Amino acid sequence: DAGITQSPRHKVTETGTPVTLRCHQTENHRYMYWYRQDPGHGLRLIHYSYGVKDTDKGEVSDGYSVSRSKTEDFLLTLESATSSQTSVYFCAISESPGQSNQPQHFGDGTRLSIL
Protein backbone atom coordinates (compact mmCIF):
# COMPACT_ATOMS: atom_id res chain seq x y z
CA ASP A 1 0.00 0.00 0.00
CA ALA A 2 1.10 3.55 -0.72
CA GLY A 3 2.40 5.28 2.41
CA ILE A 4 -0.48 7.61 3.17
CA THR A 5 -1.67 8.32 6.69
CA GLN A 6 -4.70 10.42 7.43
CA SER A 7 -5.34 11.78 10.90
CA PRO A 8 -7.55 11.76 12.77
CA ARG A 9 -9.50 8.78 11.38
CA HIS A 10 -12.67 9.88 13.14
CA LYS A 11 -13.72 13.22 14.57
CA VAL A 12 -16.91 14.62 16.05
CA THR A 13 -17.10 18.34 16.60
CA GLU A 14 -19.58 21.17 16.91
CA THR A 15 -20.76 23.73 14.41
CA GLY A 16 -18.57 26.82 14.34
CA THR A 17 -15.38 25.18 15.59
CA PRO A 18 -12.21 25.05 13.50
CA VAL A 19 -11.09 21.63 12.29
CA THR A 20 -7.81 20.56 10.70
CA LEU A 21 -7.29 17.25 8.96
CA ARG A 22 -3.82 16.00 8.18
CA CYS A 23 -2.50 13.90 5.32
CA HIS A 24 1.02 12.55 5.63
CA GLN A 25 2.83 10.66 2.85
CA THR A 26 6.11 8.79 2.79
CA GLU A 27 6.28 8.40 -1.02
CA ASN A 28 7.77 11.83 -1.79
CA HIS A 29 5.05 12.39 -4.41
CA ARG A 30 4.65 15.91 -5.72
CA TYR A 31 0.87 15.97 -6.07
CA MET A 32 -1.58 15.75 -3.19
CA TYR A 33 -5.37 16.03 -3.19
CA TRP A 34 -8.25 16.38 -0.76
CA TYR A 35 -11.65 14.91 -1.65
CA ARG A 36 -14.92 14.55 0.17
CA GLN A 37 -17.27 11.61 -0.36
CA ASP A 38 -20.96 11.89 0.28
CA PRO A 39 -23.84 9.50 -0.49
CA GLY A 40 -25.21 10.15 -3.95
CA HIS A 41 -22.36 12.46 -4.93
CA GLY A 42 -19.30 10.29 -5.24
CA LEU A 43 -15.89 11.82 -4.68
CA ARG A 44 -15.54 15.56 -5.19
CA LEU A 45 -12.24 17.42 -5.26
CA ILE A 46 -11.84 20.13 -2.62
CA HIS A 47 -8.27 21.37 -3.14
CA TYR A 48 -5.07 19.99 -4.52
CA SER A 49 -1.37 20.77 -4.36
CA TYR A 50 1.26 20.50 -7.07
CA GLY A 51 4.21 21.29 -4.83
CA VAL A 52 5.27 22.87 -1.57
CA LYS A 53 3.24 26.07 -1.09
CA ASP A 54 1.54 25.50 -4.49
CA THR A 55 -2.17 24.80 -4.18
CA ASP A 56 -5.30 25.25 -6.25
CA LYS A 57 -9.06 24.98 -5.80
CA GLY A 58 -11.17 22.04 -6.79
CA GLU A 59 -14.88 21.64 -7.44
CA VAL A 60 -16.11 22.22 -3.86
CA SER A 61 -13.54 24.52 -2.22
CA ASP A 62 -15.86 26.98 -0.45
CA GLY A 63 -15.42 26.81 3.33
CA TYR A 64 -12.08 24.98 3.11
CA SER A 65 -8.46 26.07 3.06
CA VAL A 66 -5.28 24.05 2.65
CA SER A 67 -1.61 24.38 3.35
CA ARG A 68 1.47 22.49 2.31
CA SER A 69 4.68 23.60 3.96
CA LYS A 70 6.48 20.28 3.45
CA THR A 71 6.35 17.72 0.65
CA GLU A 72 5.02 15.05 2.98
CA ASP A 73 2.18 16.96 4.67
CA PHE A 74 -1.03 18.41 3.26
CA LEU A 75 -3.44 20.00 5.72
CA LEU A 76 -7.14 20.65 5.18
CA THR A 77 -8.77 23.26 7.43
CA LEU A 78 -12.40 24.03 8.03
CA GLU A 79 -12.23 27.50 9.57
CA SER A 80 -15.74 27.36 10.99
CA ALA A 81 -17.29 23.94 10.54
CA THR A 82 -20.90 23.62 9.38
CA SER A 83 -23.18 20.58 9.40
CA SER A 84 -23.01 20.45 5.58
CA GLN A 85 -19.32 19.60 5.92
CA THR A 86 -20.13 16.30 7.65
CA SER A 87 -18.53 13.82 5.27
CA VAL A 88 -15.77 11.32 4.71
CA TYR A 89 -12.59 13.06 3.63
CA PHE A 90 -9.97 11.32 1.51
CA CYS A 91 -6.45 12.36 0.77
CA ALA A 92 -4.77 11.15 -2.41
CA ILE A 93 -1.25 11.41 -3.80
CA SER A 94 0.25 11.00 -7.24
CA GLU A 95 3.70 11.24 -8.75
CA SER A 96 2.46 13.05 -11.85
CA PRO A 97 -0.67 15.09 -12.66
CA GLY A 98 -1.93 12.48 -15.12
CA GLN A 99 -3.61 9.18 -14.43
CA SER A 100 -2.39 6.90 -17.19
CA ASN A 101 0.63 5.22 -15.67
CA GLN A 102 0.87 7.14 -12.42
CA PRO A 103 -2.55 6.85 -10.82
CA GLN A 104 -3.64 8.48 -7.62
CA HIS A 105 -3.31 6.47 -4.42
CA PHE A 106 -5.86 7.16 -1.71
CA GLY A 107 -5.64 7.13 2.06
CA ASP A 108 -8.26 5.35 4.16
CA GLY A 109 -10.25 8.47 4.95
CA THR A 110 -11.31 10.61 7.89
CA ARG A 111 -14.93 10.42 9.05
CA LEU A 112 -15.94 13.88 10.21
CA SER A 113 -19.25 14.58 11.94
CA ILE A 114 -20.30 18.12 12.71
CA LEU A 115 -23.17 18.43 15.15
Partner 1 sequence: QKEVEQDPGPLSVPEGAIVSLNCTYSNSAFQYFMWYRQYSRKGPELLMYTYSSGNKEDGRFTAQVDKSSKYISLFIRDSQPSDSATYLCAMSTDSSASKIIFGSGTRLSIRP
- Cβ proximity to partner 1: between 62 and 100 the closer is 100
Q: Which is nearer to partner 1, 56 or 79 (CB)?
A: 56
Task: Please count the residues of this chain forming the interface with partner 1, following the rule CB under 8 A.
Answer: 27
**Spatial distance between the Cα atoms of 4 and 90, rounded to a whole number of angstroms:** 10
- Contact between 97 and partner 1 by CB under 8 A: the answer reads yes
Q: Report yes or no: 112 and 9 within 8 Å, Cβ to Cβ.
A: no
Please choose, out of 14-22, 63-71, 77-85, 107-115, the segment that lies near partner 1 by the rule CB under 8 A. Answer: 107-115
| Residue (81 or 107) nearer to partner 1, CB | 107
Answer yes or no: are the C-beta atoms of 72 and 82 closer than 8 Å: no
31 vs 39, 52, 61, 106, 115, CA distance in Å?
26, 9, 17, 12, 32
Residues within the interface to partner 1 (CB under 8 A)? 4, 31, 33, 39-45, 48, 56, 58, 90, 92, 94, 97-100, 103-109
